[in-house]
Structure formats: structure tokens, C-alpha cells
Amino acid sequence: EIVMTQSPATLSVSPGERATLSCRATQSVTSNLAWYQLKPGQAPRLLIYGASTRATGIPARFSGSGSGTEFTLTISSLQSEDFAVYYCQQYYKWPRTFGQGTKLEIK
């Protein structure tokens, strides 16, 4: 199966600053890559699909890039509500697989 590795495990950033999260696949997933946000007590929320397309209702400060095996999620100016755990997921091959997550915390 395709293994997804996210880095860093924890990222400390101040509100208003930019956050850059990385995700790497053990083999090419072309652009079949999604990013999800998970907050305590809430269901996961789809942010980005197709590596770079924002899901419905997602603010423009969230952007995704990459293809093949290297992907990035960028949050341009962090708001208080953005501090959460972020997961990448490949949907190129069965079984689908998630990264282990990056916790974005307030610095």
C-alpha cells in the first residue's frame, strides 16, 4: 500500500503568519491527494482535493500544491480557528491511506 508521511508532526505558528505543511507519498499518486482538517469533537472537514482545488466553502487562505509524491498545504495567514490537526490522504490506489497528521498549534 502507499504510505503517506507528513512533516512536521507539530508546527508552532503565530496567528497571522503563514503555515506550510508537507506530505510525501512512497509512490506517485498523481494529483489524487486530499487534505482534511480535524478539530476535537468535530468530524473531519475536506479542505483540498485534486492536490490544489479548494472544497466548497473553504477560505482562500488555504492552498494546496504538488503532484506525484510531494505535496504542500499552505495557510497564508493563520486565524484562530485554523489551529487543528491536518491530514493528507491519497485516493489514487486502494487501499486509500492517510498521513499520520500534522498538529498546527499556536506559538
Footprint of other proteins (CB under 8 A): 1, 32, 34, 36, 38, 43-46, 49-50, 53, 55, 85, 87, 89, 91, 94-101
3-state secondary structure of 51: coil
Task: Kindly tell me which of 8 and 15 has the beta carbon lying closer to other proteins.
Answer: 8
Q: Where are the extended beta strands (E) located within 1-107?
A: 4-7, 10-13, 19-25, 33-38, 45-49, 53-54, 62-67, 70-75, 85-90, 97-98, 102-106
Task: Kindly tell me which of 61 and 93 has the beta carbon lying closer to other proteins.
Answer: 93
Task: Kindly tell me which of 53 and 77 has the beta carbon lying closer to other proteins.
Answer: 53
DSSP class of residue 15? Answer: T
In whole angstroms, how close is the CB of 35 to other proteins at the nearest point?
11
